[in-house]
Amino acid sequence: MTGAIIDGSKDPLPDALTVDVCIIGSGCGGATAAWDLAKGGREVLVLEEGGDYTGPRLTQRDGEMYDQLYMDRGGRSTTDLSISVLQGRVLGGGGVINASDVVSISDDVLVHWQKQHGLTDFSPAQLAPFRDQALAELHTNVPAEGQLNANNRLLRQGTQKLGWAGEVMHHNRVGCAGIGTCLIGCPLDRKKNPRFVAIPAALESGARFLTRVRAVRIEGATSELKTVHARRLDAKGYREGAPLTIRARHVILAANAIASAQLLLRSGLGNEHVGRHLMLQPQQPVVAIFDEEVRFFRGIPQSYAVTQFEEPATADRGWWGFRIEAISGTPGIVASLIPEVGEVGTKLMTGYPHFAASLLLTPDHGQGRVKVESSGRLRIEYALDDEQRTRIRAAIVATSKIYLAAGARQVVVPVSVPVRMSSEADLALIAGISLAPATSPLMSAHQMGTVRFSPNAKDGGADPDGLVYGTRGIYVFDSSGFPTSASSHTMAPIITVSHYLSQKLLARGG
């Protein structure tokens, strides 16, 4: 069988197809499963609603790239507009637009899943080969000292001055030229993401990838052959067009923790856990302004993390605490995060070359929920609780201390009303940050938990093989299944778990 990438917006296609395995989503979860299952001899078809963007098609222009590479053109948020929910929508998924940091799922987290969530199959020993495989596929390496830009170096400088722990993060870039637009795709194709590893390997094993095709509903959940109803999209992915029907023995959902649950809910499949337990790992930005030019938009955006405040695994919650990571942004996203408009906002943006910034990542406990209204509209419901607000404020205090120790002229917390600090005496202002809904530009890059794995249908939406309860042959192979935060980053954990579940499926003769 010959593999192929077929553009559903223009290439000829029959109205109906029958395959062994239909995978929905071509990101870390989907591309990995496609590779393993095609290599195992299964006829695999992957549906991907995004287009295929590599090399010069990644134009480095904010407007065009958010429009084409992100879900809802980068404008997706929780229903109360409190948290921006960022997700990739492109062949290769989020790996194409992510910050390229590689952090594995730790033994502590796996032991927690075994003890607290009954996932006895997810032992460190069983997952170890797949974790190693994921790290090897990602070409995991540590950036050289000369690749750390001033933004990351300043975060490290302040952290070290305070005697706190931190690390240069592993990444999956090879031959990075430091252009700095990773979050809207690398025009030099230097990220070893699924588009350049799992997808070519899956193609070689005969998998077919249909881009610009959206799965809209699944029928026949308990039949031998399931039916996936899909729609072809136009070239830009704006409008649904002709229908397409795929019949498959196995349907694997790897559309991301929001879309996988959305599709099950739209199809009326699964138990009451589907859509619940959503984790967003909210991230709060903090900006520092230095007298010297930082030019944080040049070089690798995110390569240093402050690990001092992470807790490897608490008894009831798993990985906890908070983590601080340097970050940069292209002008569009930075301007949208700065809580000023008009003349004041414009003046502030003229200082763009002097900005340094960090994201403060706080693991959560799954209080969110994905819903689909009868009109078909997606709702992402999520509310910070008091404990989280306290932890976010503690993270803001720590970050502000770091920047002041590194010599920042001013630290700005972009909340409404913005908090500006120029000495330790101003840190008291942080206690007044309410973090009330829609008052802070919180964002989420790591969604998890909406069809969580559990050996018991009373506690989760899918069994430890990823099989969605109440179905025969419909699986989730993405972070929907994670019962708690797998790590501070999701790419390596999703690849690990997808390999593990794919091999289990093959071993069962599926």
**In the 3-class helix/strand/coil scheme, how is 16-62 assigned residue by residue?**
EEEEEEEEECCCHHHHHHHHHHHHCCCCEEEEECCECCCHHHCCCCH
Q: Which of ligand SF4, ligand FAD, none does residue 190 bind (CB under 5 to 8 Å by kind)?
A: ligand SF4
Q: Does 98 bind ligand FAD (CB under 6 A)?
A: yes
Please select the residue that binds ligand SF4; options are 76, 190, 214, 446, rule is CB under 6 A. 190
Nearest distance in Å: CB 336, ligand SF4: 20
Please name which of 98, 9, 97, 2 lies closest in space to residue 53, comparing C-alpha atoms. Answer: 97
Q: Does 333 bind ligand SF4 (CB under 6 A)?
A: no
Please name which of 468, 471, 467, 466 lies closest in space to residue 482, comparing C-alpha atoms. Answer: 466
CA distance 191 to 179: 12
CA distance 33 to 495: 9
Q: Does 173 bind ligand SF4 (CB under 6 A)?
A: yes
H or E stretch covering 379: strand 378-381
Please select the residue that binds ligand SF4; options are 33, 46, 103, 186, rule is CB under 6 A. 186
- Which residue intervals of 138-228 are DSSP H helices? 150-161, 198-204
CA distance 351 to 483: 42
Q: Does 90 bind ligand FAD (CB under 6 A)?
A: yes
Provide the mask over 20-49, with x wherever binding to ligand FAD is found by CB under 6 A and - wherever it is not. Answer: ----xxxxxxx----------------xxx
Q: How many residues bind ligand SF4 (CB under 6 A)?
A: 13
Q: Which of ligand SF4, ligand FAD, none does residue 179 bind (CB under 5 to 8 Å by kind)?
A: ligand SF4
Among the listed ranges 178-186, 222-230, 314-322, 389-397, the one in contact with ligand SF4 (CB under 6 A) is 178-186
| CA torsion through residues 313, 316, 320, 321, sign | negative
| Dihedrals phi, psi of 179, to nearest 5 degrees | -70, -35
Nearest distance in Å: CB 140, ligand SF4: 14
CA distance 134 to 128: 10
Nearest distance in Å: CB 184, ligand SF4: 8
Closer Cβ to ligand FAD, 90 or 244, answer by number: 90
Determine the length of the chain: 510
Q: Does 191 bind ligand SF4 (CB under 6 A)?
A: yes
Query: Measured in Å, how far apart are the chain's first and last C-alpha atoms?
Result: 19
Please select the residue that binds ligand SF4; options are 177, 235, 341, 428, rule is CB under 6 A. 177
Please select the residue that binds ligand FAD; options are 68, 159, 490, 502, rule is CB under 6 A. 490
H or E stretch covering 494: helix 491-507
Q: Does 139 bind ligand SF4 (CB under 6 A)?
A: no
Closer Cβ to ligand FAD, 19 or 492, answer by number: 492
Q: Which of ligand FAD, ligand SF4, none does residue 180 bind (CB under 5 to 8 Å by kind)?
A: ligand SF4
């799965």: which residue's tokens? 215
H or E stretch covering 263: helix 259-266
Q: Does 176 bind ligand SF4 (CB under 6 A)?
A: yes
Closer Cβ to ligand SF4, 96 or 305, answer by number: 96
- The footprint of ligand FAD (CB under 6 A) covers 24-30, 47-50, 86-90, 93-95, 97-101, 183, 214-215, 254-256, 259, 263, 445-446, 478-479, 489-492, 494
Name the site residues for ligand SF4 (rule: CB under 6 A): 173, 176-182, 186, 188, 190-191, 300
